[in-house]
Structure 1
Amino acid sequence: MSRRCELTGKGPMTGNNVSHAHNKTRRLFRPNLNDVTLQSETLGRGIKLRISASALRSVDHRGGLDKFLAKAKDDELSPAALKVKKEIAKAQSVAAEA
């Protein structure tokens, strides 16, 4: 399981630990990932994703998973999230026709 957010693509970054004596050693800054189940209004079910805390705040800010995925870029999404995005788009187009 990679340390990468499934919605934003945010991953580990590198930098320096800087001591009081100003010695520098390399370190990793890992994203704050959480396993969550987000509810899709269109599909009527929960979707399990491993996303960062900032992505969870963005999903809430945009008004839910469906609206977040509608605006999300395909190259940032994981294959699982991209599959869910296509399912939601298909379900919305079927609902619009009926």
Structure 2
Amino acid sequence: MSRRCDLTGKGPQTGHKVSHSNIKTKRRFLPNLCNVTLISDALGRSVRMRVSANALRSIDARGGLDAFLLKQRDTDLSDHALGIKREIVKKAAATA
């Protein structure tokens, strides 16, 4: 399982650990990933994803999983999230 957020595409970054004597050694900054169950209003079911804590805040700010997925670019989404987004768009087209 990769260390990448399913919704935002946020992954590990590299940088330096700097000691008090200013010696720099390589290190990795890993994203704060959480295994969560999100509810899709359009699909009427829950979806399990591995999402960063920052993405959870963005989901709440945009008004839920459906609104977040519809606004997010396809290139940032994982294959699993992209499939859910397509299901939401198909369901919205069928009801409209």
Amino acid at match of 1:5: C
Find runs of 4+ consecutive structure 1 residues off by over 3 angstroms: none
Offset at residue 12 of structure 1 (A):
0.1
Task: Name the Cα RMSD after superposition.
Answer: 0.4
**Deviation for aligned residue 1:36:** 0.4
Is 1:25 the counterpart of 2:18? The answer is no
**Shift in Å, 1:91:** 0.5
Deviation of 1:71 after TM superposition, in Å, equals 0.4
Amino acid at match of 2:83: K
- TM-score, L = length of structure 1: 0.97
Q: Distance in 2 between matches of 1:37 and 1:87?
A: 17
CA drift of 1:33 comes to 0.2
Alignment of 1:1-98 (within 5 A): 1-96=1-96
1:15-57 deviation digits (Å, cap 9, x = unpaired): 0000001110000000000000100000000010001000000
- Structure 2 length-normalised TM: 0.99
Tell me the CA shift for residue 68 of structure 1: 0.2
Letter in 1 for 2:88: I
SS where residue 25 of structure 1 aligns? Answer: strand
Say which SS state the counterpart of residue 14 (structure 1) adopts. Answer: strand
Letter in 1 for 2:52: S
Identity across matched positions, percent: 58
How many residues were matched structurally?
Answer: 96
Partners of 2:72 and 2:49 in 1: CA distance: 15
